[in-house]
Amino acid sequence: MITFRWFGPRDPISLAYIRQIPAVRGIVGALFDIPVGESWPLDRIAALQDEVNGNNMELAVIESIAVHEDIKLGRATRDRLIDNYCESIRNMGRAGVPVLCYNFMPVFDWTRTDLARKLDDGSTALAYDDDALARIDLSRGTADLPGWATAYSAGELKKLLDAYRSVDESQLWDNLAYFLERVVPVAASSGVRMALHPDDPPWSIFGLPRIITDGAALERVTTIVDDHANGITFCAGSLAANPENDLASIVRRLGARGRIHFAHCRNIRRTGVRTFQETAHPSEFGDVDMRAVLSALHDTGFAGPIRSDHGRMIWGETGQPGYGLHDRALGAMYLHGLWEGIAGGQ
């Protein structure tokens, strides 16, 4: 199923527009006003589902229910927060939403240093440069971090970064295991598939540990709790930032075990060591062999949701960087056509 991310009533791109993209049948959505750590009420999830259904699409994925930093840090408050997370999962199941995409990145979600890199064709795209990141002054909080959605004051951010000084990669793995051991059984009994998203970019930033960076890490996640409900989001663009990641091989190994529950299929071009820019979706424009990725998904029996993920800003469109309508719609149709060709019109 080809899906499209929608940011709710605040999104300038309406469901009425999205439903006009011929291939799109599912929406990837969330409840953006609920504070991190609180449980999501069933009536709110059901209302979101009803709104999507009213536009002849289905709410295919929740992306995401954020994992509270106290859980990642292993603090004493984590049990209460995990209980709330479990209740959100139960309510997803009651509402009939089958997939939950989430991440375990400390403090910062996906990170870019340029929200409008000018490409050769005149479009603009998201880009990342490790050297540029190193020049960002965090003493002012997140004010200087391009596009960062979660605002931290200087004092709040300092306390959080200080707390992570005692958390290395091994401890973060332990804290992830503690979380999964408690939430996966709830997901399994609720009919919800957990889909952990790789770290983006797939390396440490600001000295913080990042652990979900390659195929071996993704496989390790699925063995912590060996249940079909414990799976991953395969994100081509995130993993491709590291040239050592063999995307098709990762898909085949995890797909053969039925552990890929969601696929983000966007393209990037590496422009140096730990630098990259996002591109148009077709293979020729970046470093992702999209046909090889989709062939591996198809060959391993993947039947879950796929989304074109981020897009360029094209044709004079303005809006939330990475989340315009036009290029994501082009990407959705490209992925649909590629999948149809691989499947032989089945």
Residue 281 falls in the annotated catalytic set: no
List 68, 197, 261, 281, catalytic entry: 197
List 264, 281, 298, 336, catalytic entry: 264
Tokens of 48: 């979101």
Give alpha helix (H) positions in the chain. Answer: 15-18, 42-53, 69-73, 78-95, 130-134, 154-163, 169-190, 215-224, 236-240, 247-255, 290-299, 326-343
List 102, 309, 327, 336, catalytic entry: 309
Residue 168 falls in the annotated catalytic set: no
List 85, 128, 152, 323, catalytic entry: 323
Nearest to 57 by CA among 11, 92, 7, 6: 6
Contact predicate 200/245, CB 8 Å: no
Residue 202's SS3 state is: coil
Tell me the C-alpha to C-alpha distance, in Å, between residue 219 and each of 28, 88, 174, 241, 257: 24, 25, 15, 19, 10
Residue 129 falls in the annotated catalytic set: no
Residue 178 falls in the annotated catalytic set: no
Residue 298 falls in the annotated catalytic set: no
Beta strands in 273-328 (DSSP E): 275-278, 306-307
Residue 174 falls in the annotated catalytic set: no
d(CA 46, CA 90): 12
d(CA 40, CA 117): 36
List 68, 281, 310, 336, catalytic entry: 310
List 235, 265, 287, 327, catalytic entry: 235
Single-letter residue type at 217: A
Residue 289's SS3 state is: coil
| Active site residue ranges | 197, 235, 264, 309-310, 323
